[in-house]
Structure 1
Amino acid sequence: MTTSFRTRALRVAVTSSRRIPARVRYPLQRDGVDPVARLEASRVSGDVVPLVRLLGVRVWLVTGYDVARAVLADSDSFANDVRGLIGRQDRAPAERIGGLGMTDQPDHGRLRSVLTPYFTRRRLADLQADIDRVVEAALDDMAAHGPEVDLVRRFGFTVPFGVICDLLGMPEVDRDEFRRRGAARFDLRDAGAGIFDTAAGTRQYLIDLVAAERRAPHLPEGLVSRMVADHGDEFDDVELGGLADGVFLGGYETSASMLSLGTYVLLQSPDAWATLRRGEPHEVDRVVEELLRFVCPVQVAFPRVARHEVTVGDRVLRKGDIVLVSLTGAGRDPARHADPARFDPTSAAPGTLAFGHGLHRCVGAELARMELRTALVALARRFPDLTLACDPADLRFTELAIVHGVERLPVHLG
């Protein structure tokens, strides 16, 4: 079988299935916020285990922290550009998959250099007032609709959506439409068949926004208008719109899940809740870092493809083998944490892989931390007696998704 024919056949095998086989779903499933038993059981076979074979191509799963960190950092041995396997590139520009997470050097560096200046400490400090305003507005809305509210709707999604729209410079008049277009981008219950169409809606919206700004600059000061002003001569509308879409994608759904799931965990940890109310910066930082490890809503990193034969853990991978890194598994590695199933901010360690690692580490990681610190401290102080308003057994979590979440989180404001 020639390489080109095998690639085409593998793409068909990956994209034509309407359902992910049950035996390989476990890296994308959870038991509440915990890994499913099968993921934990896989550790018996080591930090690197075979997951599935597709037309002779072996797919491996990494769950050990040290091995995961090594794979994520090794862009010499692993490629991120798997677009030829999981998406047709003859689609319209907005329908093509890609972004920084599926781009290798030198294109990755060229694109990332556009975003990096907007996420420096100085630029992020300028956003603090906007974050404070969005958080306070969400808390006021909760109070107005209490005493029982759905925290996912009123807080978990409202805060990151407002922050990301402010960051992008999204006009107020367009935000409701943009919110509708942003749903269901990570749901894999139908093997992701709807993801491409859903993603195309938000991506096309941002491509059009870039094009409109290029024709007649009028947006509020924000990332889109700055990118057009600073880099409009170097990049076309599709490239800049795609970068804006990546910022939206990384800063909205993941932070929304993190706030909602994080609150769920905190409501079962009175000591950590009290720590947030005190607001001591070093203590709050430990709570946030431990939440990132414990909850880690992004379940797997972008797939990697071996460029050549390479040893990963105790396994020898062939050229063309695919590697999935379980960020959930890495965060619960018993070789790194004495009691990984316990939420314990006093034992929080630096080095979380929740934002990835190496060349493809999330460019907005520090913004996400700012948002979590600000939102959770403000929530604990405004509603110190916040409690869950349902039996935890009645909560519905996502069944099969790249980004794990909870559908509703009813709470009493107290």
Structure 2
Amino acid sequence: MTSMVSGLRSRAVGLVSRRFTLSMLPDRILWPLHREALDPIPRMAEFREQRPVSRMPLPFGMRAWLVTGYEPVRQVLGSVDGYSNDFGKFAGRVGIKVAQDPGGLGFADPPVHTRLRKVLTPEFTMRRLARLQPRIDAIVAGRLDAMASAGGTADLWHDFALPIPALTICELLGVPYADRDHFQKLSTARFDLAEGGGAALGAIGDALSYIGGLVDEQRRSPGDGLLGSLIRTHGDEIDDRELAGLADGVLTGGLETSASMLALGALVLMTNPRMADQMRAGEGVDQIVEELLRYLTVVQVAFPRVAIKDVRVGDADIRAGDVVMCSLSGANRDDLIGPDPDAIDPSRAPNRSHMAFGYGLHRCIGAELARMELRTAYPALVRRFPELAPAVPPAELRFRRASIVFGLESLPVTLG
């Protein structure tokens, strides 16, 4: 157990190092992560129309490509043998030093990825996830009650958007009820660099250590959550480190992304009374959620791939060893999606499926869980607070400037 926790802490170092490396890159590299309010900057449309597969100016002579068009993004993400997601290969190409790769599905190639996804997929079917619906209902209702009792104003990010996926993930993983507040704080703090790298590193290390301890406990006495189910069904096929990596992937992949969607989607509803009325009446909820997912695309880029052979994408010749980054926000604003893709229109009949959850081998395995949270939370919010409105002018909203997961720093609202 001690060696496992030590290994998990070394992973935390790598995770923080990766974030610091990203934050230090210049704007000429980070521009695909910039937005004007909720929209990708105009430069994204220019690249998609004129250079949908274009060279990116990475330092040290590294060859990298940005893919922005719907079809070339689909081609790259849909490839099963042209690219590697192995974190070690990517880290080596961009000069990141880590003691150990982060593990989990997102950083694995077949056959490891195939084996782990086969183990995890049955836990994320709609039939299996249905057991969580009563708890999601209760979590949402509890947050609405807490906001109502606190007065006429709230921070929708901290009081509503963040706790719902955090507590849902606790329920999914089987985190003991007494530990849930602690787990939520750890989950939140790992993404916050406001207090400096040491605080974020400590939070990540604490969270990973906690997950390691949880795996150890579940090995001895499997519970009803995800870890217990995996141990009962596949206990001899998957080791503790892989289990911890999968659990950490559920945490990192399902917390900040869903929280950002909840906050940004609520902002759209507050500024679109007709759509809010439809949601309040329960009309076309699924369509509205899908259009919000496409329009907002909170995960702006797919995890970078490394080409493992020479490939041609569009008019570009990509060499083995080149780094390829696919813009999901760019692809989801392509005309191939449907008419006027820069407008939000829940009634649109899309020409192609959106890529908010990615595509292909590494499409988000928790997509249905995220949809459950959104379909529950949005209608409940606008019904409980029909006069909900931003408490500050649009210009004072603080959006993340260059983050792979786009979102708000806070969302002050008046409840009415």
Quote the residue 1:344 is aligned against.
345
Counterparts of 2:22 and 2:403, CA distance in 1: 16
Counterparts of 2:312 and 2:192, CA distance in 1: 32
Deviation readout 1:221-253 (Å, 9 max, x if unpaired):
211222222222222211101101111112111
Aligned partner of residue 262 in structure 2, secondary structure: helix
Deviation readout 1:323-355 (Å, 9 max, x if unpaired):
101111111123434322211111152611111
Quote the residue 1:206 is aligned against.
211
Matched, 1:132 2:133: no
Seq. identity, %: 48
Deviation readout 1:73-107 (Å, 9 max, x if unpaired):
1021111113244254534xxxx323211111000
CA contact (8 A) 1:61 1:323 kept: yes
CA contact (8 A) 2:90 2:305 kept: no
Quote the residue 1:8 is aligned against.
none
Quote the residue 2:311 is aligned against.
310
Counterparts of 1:155 and 1:321, CA distance in 2: 41
CA contact (8 A) 1:156 1:256 kept: yes
Residue 212 (structure 1) shift = 2.1
Residue 38 (structure 1) shift = 2.9
CA contact (8 A) 1:150 1:411 kept: yes
CA contact (8 A) 1:276 1:380 kept: yes
Quote the residue 2:39 is aligned against.
34
Counterparts of 2:70 and 2:408, CA distance in 1: 25
Name the aligned partner's letter for residue 396 of structure 2. D
Aligned partner of residue 110 in structure 1, secondary structure: helix
Residue 201 (structure 1) shift = 3.5
Matched, 1:378 2:370: no
Residue 188 (structure 1) shift = 8.8
Counterparts of 2:104 and 2:18, CA distance in 1: 23
CA contact (8 A) 1:18 1:193 kept: no
Residue 167 (structure 1) shift = 0.8
Q: Which is worse superposed, 193-202 or 295-304?
A: 193-202
CA contact (8 A) 2:280 2:383 kept: yes
| Mapping of residues 67-216 of structure 1, within 5 Å | 67-86=72-91, 87-91=96-100, 96-183=101-188, 185=190, 198-215=203-220
The structure-2 alpha-carbon separation of the partners of 1:218 and 1:120, relative to structure 1 and needing over 3 Å to count, comes to closer
Counterparts of 2:155 and 2:43, CA distance in 1: 31
Quote the residue 1:243 is aligned against.
246
Name the aligned partner's letter for residue 249 of structure 1. T
Q: Pick one of 266, 271, 279 that aligns with 1:268.
A: 271
Deviation readout 1:175-204 (Å, 9 max, x if unpaired):
2222222236557999x9987765443233
Counterparts of 1:241 and 1:23, CA distance in 2: 36
Name the aligned partner's letter for residue 153 of structure 2. E
Counterparts of 1:403 and 1:241, CA distance in 2: 23
CA contact (8 A) 1:83 1:97 kept: no
Counterparts of 2:201 and 2:306, CA distance in 1: 21
CA contact (8 A) 1:24 1:51 kept: yes
Residue 62 (structure 1) shift = 0.9
Residue 54 (structure 1) shift = 4.2
Quote the residue 1:394 is aligned against.
396
Quote the residue 2:4 is aligned against.
none
Counterparts of 1:403 and 1:184, CA distance in 2: 15
The structure-2 alpha-carbon separation of the partners of 1:196 and 1:66, relative to structure 1 and needing over 3 Å to count, comes to farther
Matched, 1:366 2:368: yes
Counterparts of 1:370 and 1:68, CA distance in 2: 27
Counterparts of 1:140 and 1:337, CA distance in 2: 39
| Mapping of residues 263-342 of structure 1, within 5 Å | 263-280=266-283, 283-342=284-343
Deviation readout 1:113-155 (Å, 9 max, x if unpaired):
2211111221122211111111111111111113111111111
Aligned partner of residue 183 in structure 1, secondary structure: helix
The structure-2 alpha-carbon separation of the partners of 1:364 and 1:152, relative to structure 1 and needing over 3 Å to count, comes to same
Deviation readout 1:370-400 (Å, 9 max, x if unpaired):
1101110111111122111111110101122
CA contact (8 A) 2:29 2:58 kept: no
Aligned partner of residue 57 in structure 2, secondary structure: strand
Deviation readout 1:256-297 (Å, 9 max, x if unpaired):
0000011111111111101101113xx111100110011111
Q: Pick one of 232, 235, 252 that aligns with 2:235.
A: 232
Residue 174 (structure 1) shift = 1.7
The structure-2 alpha-carbon separation of the partners of 1:17 and 1:105, relative to structure 1 and needing over 3 Å to count, comes to closer
Deviation readout 1:290-336 (Å, 9 max, x if unpaired):
10011111111011111111111111111111110111111112343
Name the aligned partner's letter for residue 305 of structure 1. V
Deviation readout 1:150-181 (Å, 9 max, x if unpaired):
11111101111111111111112222222222
Aligned partner of residue 49 in structure 1, secondary structure: strand
The structure-2 alpha-carbon separation of the partners of 1:41 and 1:304, relative to structure 1 and needing over 3 Å to count, comes to same
Aligned partner of residue 316 in structure 1, secondary structure: strand
Q: What TM-score, normalized to structure 1?
A: 0.89
| Structure 1 portions without partners, runs of 5+ | 1-11
Aligned partner of residue 42 in structure 1, secondary structure: helix
Aligned partner of residue 403 in structure 1, secondary structure: coil
Matched, 1:409 2:414: no
Name the aligned partner's letter for residue 315 of structure 1. A
Name the aligned partner's letter for residue 118 of structure 1. E
